[in-house]
Amino acid sequence: MTSPASVEPQALEAYRNSARTWLADFAPPPLPQDYRLRTGALREWHSTLYRSGWVGIDWPSEHGGQGLSLEHALIFIEESARAGAPQPFGAIGLHVVGPTLLRYGTRQQLERFAEPLLSGAETWCQGFSEPDAGSDLASLRTRAVVEDDGFVLTGQKIWTSWADDSDWCAVLARTDPDRPKHKGISYLLVDMHAPGVTVRPITQITGDAEFCEVFFEDVRVPRSNLLGPLHGGWELAMHTLGHERSGYALRRRAELEVSYRNLLDAIRREGSGSDVAAEIGTAYVTLSGLSALSRRAVRRARNAEVPSPLDSVDKLALAKGEQQLFGTALDLLGSHRAAPLTRGTSLDGAQIVKDYLHGRAASVYGGSEQIQLTIVAERLLGLPRAR
């Protein structure tokens, strides 16, 4: 890949202008509210991006990418959010599973999976969390019995985004129950269409159903679908989580910036009290800090062997920033709350409420607030363990 330091600022600015122009011409209209219709629109958008060379921007060219720098990829993420364009449907494969595949995959695995992942022909989900293993991921109970030709997988995953529309799943499974809990885990690439895989969507408070629970009942996984070393999956899991958090943080920060600008425009049109004005000022300061934090997190994920405890600082800041921004938006809704929430106005009540509800989960997904605070206390501040 091209080092960001070797790219001239003028070249990056030209790339930004090119991305902005292309997005102005081709970004899709607002997505349908219906979840299934929205999924179809996202698949079409992924195909458009791939055909136009906007997918895998910083992936190596030998694996189907554009071979450009990380800075180029960050520019397109920012401009996409500013244009109101959605992520490609295969975002989990591109930004979460894909980097781990590039780092740890064999030549045969890269030849098999890289191109379909980039093109969107095959989509991915991430099978990590379980009913009794969320923030304490190493307590997972899903088991993969090792056999000569592969594994027999049995267990349950939960909160698996878009599992019902995925072709493959990156699954953490315990392959040696006698080892310490971080040592006996393997990272498997599981065919979601294989016999024994059952997916059940979970309806959220927002009405969406992007999360699922997944059941594996004696699912056979070939040995060739083991990513990385046997029993050595924890290192890969940490690599994946580092990219999940940093990639999400960058995109979400850019989206929050757009929401902030829309909120500021609404305040100017509708007026507000001094309390809301103070809150919007605080939101601006928070978003400015998140911009620096998210870029630092992405670079750290690309260069570090394992996630840094600084990731927990970034996670906490992003959750607080999101909740603060949409809490302010809900306060601003004020007298508009009596209006039908489905009616589009300068204050889009339906979207404000949806964003507010979604923001409540920001303290939990990707590692709960309590877990992140513990990591900061113990690993950054050097405070004694509380247990």
Residue intervals of the chain classified under CATH 1.10.540.10 are 4-89
Instruction: Considering only residues 283 and 93, tell me which one the structure prediction assigns the higher pLDDT.
Output: 93
Q: pLDDT value at position 270?
A: 65
Mean pLDDT on 360-385: 84
Q: Could you tell me which residues come within 8 angstroms of residue 158 by beta carbon, excluding any fewer than 6 positions away?
A: 129, 130, 131, 202, 211, 212, 213, 214
What pLDDT, in 10s, does the model give residues 98-146?
Answer: 999 999 999 999 999 999 999 999 999 999 999 988 778 899 999 999 9
Q: pLDDT value at position 13?
A: 95
Q: CB–CB of 163/171 below 8 Å?
A: no
Q: pLDDT value at position 131?
A: 93
Q: pLDDT exceeding 90 applies to what percent of the chain?
A: 47
Look up residue 38 and give its two tokens.
Answer: 């929205």
CA distances from 55 to 226, 279, 345 (A): 26, 37, 34
Helix (H, G, I), strand (E, B) or coil at 72: helix
Q: How many CB atoms lie within 10 A of CB 61?
A: 11
Q: pLDDT value at position 141?
A: 96
Q: CB–CB of 88/42 below 8 Å?
A: yes
- For the chain, give the mean pLDDT: 85
Report the alpha-carbon distance of residue 30 to residue 24 in Å, rounded.
13
CB-based burial label for 387 (10 Å; 0-12, 13-18, 19+): exposed
Mean pLDDT on 11-36: 91
Report the alpha-carbon distance of residue 119 to residue 213 in Å, rounded.
26
Give the CATH superfamily of 124-231.
Butyryl-CoA Dehydrogenase, subunit A, domain 2 (2.40.110.10)
Q: CB–CB of 326/355 below 8 Å?
A: yes
Helix (H, G, I), strand (E, B) or coil at 126: strand
Q: What is the CATH number of domain 4-89?
A: 1.10.540.10
Residue intervals of the chain classified under CATH 1.20.140.10 are 235-380
Q: pLDDT exceeding 70 applies to what percent of the chain?
A: 89
When pLDDT is cut at 50, 70 and 90, the band that residue 343 belongs to is very low
Q: Which pTM does this prediction carry?
A: 0.84
**Fold of the 235-380 domain:** Butyryl-CoA Dehydrogenase, subunit A; domain 3 (1.20.140)
Residue with tokens 């000022």: 281
When pLDDT is cut at 50, 70 and 90, the band that residue 185 belongs to is very high
Please check the confidence at residue 243 and state whether its pLDDT lies above 50.
Answer: yes
The strand pairing partners of 221, in sequence order, are 151
Please check the confidence at residue 62 and state whether its pLDDT lies above 80.
Answer: yes
Taking CB atoms within 8 Å and a gap of at least 24, the contacts of 74-80 are 74/250, 74/295, 74/298, 75/12, 75/15, 75/16, 75/19, 76/19, 77/250, 77/251, 77/254, 78/250, 78/254, 79/16, 79/19, 79/20, 79/23, 80/19, 80/23, 80/27, 80/254
When pLDDT is cut at 50, 70 and 90, the band that residue 158 belongs to is very high
Instruction: Considering only residues 9 and 216, tell me which one the structure prediction assigns the higher pLDDT.
Output: 216
- Catalytic residue set: 244
When pLDDT is cut at 50, 70 and 90, the band that residue 304 belongs to is low
Strongest mean pLDDT among 242-246, 296-300, 346-350: 242-246
Residue intervals of the chain classified under CATH 2.40.110.10 are 124-231
